[in-house]
Amino acid sequence: MPNGQEHGGAYGYGVAPQQNPYGQGAYAPNPYAQPLPTPQQPYTPQQPYAPQQPYGAPHPAAAPHPAAAQQPSAPARFSAPPRPGGLPGPMPRRNRLVVLLQFLLQWIYAPLWILGLVVVFVVVILSDYSGGGPESDGWLRVNRSFIPPRRIRAELTGRPEDWERYVTPLLERRIAAAEATHAAGGGDVQLDLSRELSVGLAVRLYRGLGAAGVSRVAERLGWQGAPSGTDAERVRLVRRFPAPAGLIAPSPQDPPAAPGTPWGPQPGRFAPLLPVVFLLQIVYVPVYGLLTFWVNRPEPDYWERWGARWTVGPRAFRAEFTHSPAAWDRHVRRILKRDTTRELGRTADSYGRLLAPDGTFLRRVHLHRATYRGAGAHRALSIAAEQGWTLDPAYTPDPANSLRLCRPDHR
């Protein structure tokens, strides 16, 4: 059992997933409402943190469930949706003369197009803009009519093998970027606590290969094709990752984590410098955002992490300036109360596919590092446990950056 001196992680995604918490219909009480009996204390040094499952289903860290032997293996339970039938094949090849003309002329009209967009934006900024304009932003997408040199051969020959040579590295890059977001906490949570990632390709990128061919290439990378809805001009690829098999983290009832450890209080910033940062951030935050907005960030919470390092929140200013544990506790409680109120304002129907057949669902909140920096992730977890929040079993604990919490509710 970690005591806060070491980083909590997970056993990885290659082992059997935990029992589906939606398989039980009973609403479980708050696991932290009363002290746990000594004979049944689950937080022994040999076991990871195993918060009670919201609907009565046992956690893998607890005693094996009698029906565990009948559960399908991880690939069977958490495989991507079945490949849809009837994915369209290769489309007719475009006229070679038209392709050549477009390829030659684009080096002239593309720069002029970009220059025209700059002029339009300057005019809009300087004029009394009323907010009207085209409904579609297609006229902004210069890249949609641009043929990169790597694609010209495939466009001219129209052969599926040439298109596959072009699509494969493109697909590998996009899939790698998507999987990086999963490692950082991205992906859509499913009812069984797995998380699904999706990647889309426009038809101009795979015309001669077809959606079926793209799906075939994606299958070699562990992904599968999925219905793209009403958009026939795109192919959608998905991959589903199971929830972590175990949450290695300290119990909210454990002794406080040591300062400087991932679960303990983090070193405070130099107090006399905080007022300067507080004032200058009004200038450098928007400047940095404008200069780097075009950069593709694989981390879904990049700006929260950046803000925790380079900004000072008005609510957290007193806690950071004084380094007072009581001030940090008040700050954590204030932010948790705000997020809880916001989350409770959502109706059960708004959870859609995350609503179990018996009407149960999980409410979720997300505390960032800036909220509990001086108090420590373990202290924030203890405060949250008082209100029934536990670590979200759909995510690997990452106390150095954020706390993802959940709590059961019923329609």
Predicted pLDDT at 256: 93
Helix (H) or strand (E) holding 376: none
Q: Which residues of 27-63 are buried (b: 16+ CB within 10 A; e: fewer)?
A: eeebbbeeeeeeeeebbeeeebbbbbbbbebbbbbbe
Domain region containing 178: 96-128+135-241
Distance CA 299, CA 183 (A): 8
Q: Is residue 14 part of a domain?
A: no
Q: Is residue 295 part of a domain?
A: no
Shared domain check, 363 and 253: yes
Shared domain check, 211 and 260: no
Q: Is residue 2 part of a domain?
A: no
CA–CA distances in Å: residue 232 to residues 87, 190, 201, 202, 379 = 10, 25, 11, 9, 50
Distance CA 238, CA 32 (A): 37
Shared domain check, 199 and 101: yes
- Total domains, the chain: 2
Shared domain check, 152 and 230: yes
Q: Is residue 161 part of a domain?
A: yes
Q: Is residue 313 part of a domain?
A: no
Determine the Cα angle at 5 with ends 312 and 241, to 5°.
80
Q: Is residue 309 part of a domain?
A: no
Shared domain check, 234 and 121: yes
> Which residue is it, tokens 């400047």?
287
Shared domain check, 359 and 229: no
| Final residue in a domain of this structure, among 225, 241, 257 | 241
Shared domain check, 251 and 393: yes
Beta bridge partners of 238: 198, 224
Predicted pLDDT at 145: 83
Residues in the chain with pLDDT values less than 50: 1-47, 52-84
Predicted pLDDT at 188: 93
> Which residue is it, tokens 């404008």?
290
Distance CA 127, CA 133 (A): 14
List pLDDT tens digits, range 302-345: 888 899 899 999 999 999 999 999 999 999 999 999 999 999 99
Shared domain check, 252 and 217: no
pTM of the predicted model over 0.75: no
List pLDDT tens digits, range 37-89: 333 333 333 345 555 444 444 333 333 333 333 333 333 333 334 344 557 77
Q: Is residue 276 part of a domain?
A: no
Q: Which residues contact 196 (CB under 8 A, 6 or more apart)?
A: 80, 187, 188, 190, 238, 239, 240, 241
Q: Is residue 16 part of a domain?
A: no
Distance CA 168, CA 219 (A): 11
What is the bridge-based pairing of β-strands 390-391 and 360-368?
unpaired
Is there a contact between 371 and 400 (Cβ–Cβ < 8 Å)? no
Shared domain check, 210 and 119: yes
From the CA atom positions of the chain, what is the Rg in Å? 26
Shared domain check, 404 and 372: yes
Beta bridge partners of 197: 239
